[in-house]
Chain A
Amino acid sequence: MAFVRRLAHRLRWWLRPSHVEAEIQRELDVHLEQLTKEYVVDGMTDADARAAARRDFGSIAWAHEHCRDAHRTRIVEDLLADVGYALRVLKRSPAFSITAIATLALGIGANTAIFTVVNALLLRPLPFDRPDRLLAVFERNVMADEQDMSVAPGNLVNWQSSSTAFESISGYTTQAVTLSVDASTSEPQRVLACACSGNLTTTLGIAPVAGRAFRADEDRFGAPSVVAISYELWQRQFGGAPDVVGRRIRLDDQPYDVIAIMPRTFVFPRRGVDMWLPLMTALSPPMQQRHDLHFLQVVARMKPDVTMAQAIADVDRISAAYKQAHPSESTGKGARGVALRDARVGDIRTPLLVLLGAVACVLLIASVNLANLLLTRAVARSREIGIRTALGAGRGRLVRQLLTESVLLALAGGVAGLAVAMWLARVLVVSAPGADLVLPAGTIPIDASVFVFALVIAVVTGLAIGLVPALRGSRTNVAGDLRDATRGSTAGRAHGRFRGVLVTAEVALSLVLLVAAGLLLHSLAELYAVDPGIRLDHALTVGVSLPSTRYPTPAKRSTTFVELGDRLRQVPGVSSVGLTSCTPLTGSCNTLFFYVEGRPYEPGHFLAAQERSVDPEYFAAAGVRLMKGRTFTREDGVGFDPAHPREGRIVISEAMAKTFFPDVDPIGQRIFFDFEVQRERNQGFPAPRYTIIGVVSDVLPTLDAHVTPTMYRPLLDVANSGAAILVRTAVAPESVLPALRQQVHQVDAGLVLSQPRTLEELVGRSTSDRRFTMGLFVAFAALAVLLAAIGLYGVVSYGVSQRTAEIGVRIALGATRADVSRLVVMQGLKPACAGVAIGLVGAAAAAQLLRTLLFGVVPTDPLTFALVPAALLAVAAVACYLPALRAARLDPTVALRTE
Chain B
Amino acid sequence: MPKPSDLLQGTLDLLILKTLAREPLHGWAVAKRIQARSGDILTVGQGSLYPALHRLERQGWVRAEWRASDLGRDAKFYALTRAGRKQLERELKAWERLSSGVRLLIETA
Residues of chain A touching chain B, judged by Cβ–Cβ distance below 8 Å, are 1-3, 5-6, 9-10, 23-24, 26-28, 30-31, 33-35, 56-60, 62-63, 66-67, 69-71, 390, 392, 394, 478-479
Contact = CB atoms under 8 A, between A and B. Distances in A.
Interface string B93-108: 1100100000000000
Nearest to A73: B58
B38 interface: no
A506 to B, nearest CB: 38
Interface of B: 10, 26-28, 31, 45-48, 50-55, 57-61, 63, 66, 71, 73, 75-76, 81-83, 93-94, 97
B90 to A, nearest CB: 8
Contacts, number: 86
B47 A59 contact: yes
A830 B89 CA distance: 43
A30 B48 CA distance: 16
B50 A67 contact: yes
Given A1-B81, A390-B94, A10 B50 contact: no
A71 B71 contact: no
Nearest to A9: B58
Nearest to B75: A30
Nearest to B29: A34
Contact of B58 (A6, A59, A392): A6
Nearest to A10: B58
B52 to A, nearest CB: 8
Given A6-B58, A31-B27, A70 B47 contact: no
Contacts of A478: 94
Nearest to B54: A70
A31 B28 contact: yes
Contacts of B94: 390, 478
A58 B45 contact: yes
A614 to B, nearest CB: 87
Given A2-B60, A27-B76, A30-B71, A69 B47 contact: no
A2 B61 contact: yes
A10 B57 CA distance: 10
B46 A57 contact: yes
B47 A30 contact: no
Contacts of A30: 26-28, 71, 73, 75-76
Contacts of B59: 2, 6, 394
A478 B90 CA distance: 10
Contact of B76 (A2, A10, A23): A23
A712 to B, nearest CB: 87
A9 B60 contact: yes
Contacts of A57: 46-47
Nearest to A63: B47
A63 B51 contact: yes
Contact of B47 (A23, A27, A33, A62): A62
Q: Is the interface of B mostly helix, strand, loop or mixed?
A: helix
B57 A58 contact: no
B47 A5 contact: no
B27 A2 contact: no
A24 B50 contact: yes
A34 B58 contact: no
A1 B86 CA distance: 13
Given A5-B60, A10-B58, A31 B46 contact: yes
Contact of B51 (A23, A56, A69): A69
B94 to A, nearest CB: 6
Nearest to A28: B50
Contacts of A23: 66, 76
Given A9-B60, A59-B47, A67-B50, A27 B81 contact: no
A63 B28 contact: no
A63 B75 CA distance: 17
Given A5-B60, A35-B46, 14 more contacts: A1-B83, A27-B76, A28-B50, A30-B75, A31-B28, A33-B73, A34-B71, A58-B46, A62-B47, A63-B50, A66-B48, A67-B50, A70-B51, A390-B94
Contacts of B48: 63, 66
A71 B26 contact: no
Interface centre among A3, A70, A390, A392 (most CB of B within 10 A): A70
A27 B28 CA distance: 9
A394 B58 CA distance: 13
A2 B59 CA distance: 8
A31 B47 contact: no
Contacts of B81: 1-2, 5
Contacts of B28: 30-31, 34
Contacts of A33: 71, 73
A410 to B, nearest CB: 30
Contacts of B27: 27, 30-31
A71 B31 CA distance: 21
Interface centre among B10, B45, B60, B73 (most CB of A within 10 A): B60
5 contacts: A28-B50, A30-B26, A58-B46, A63-B48, A70-B54
A394 B55 CA distance: 13
Q: Which 7 A-B residue pairs are closest in the complex by CB-CB distance? A: A66-B51, A2-B83, A70-B54, A2-B60, A58-B47, A70-B55, A6-B60
Contacts of B76: 23, 26-27, 30
A476 to B, nearest CB: 12
A746 to B, nearest CB: 95
B104 to A, nearest CB: 15
B78 to A, nearest CB: 10
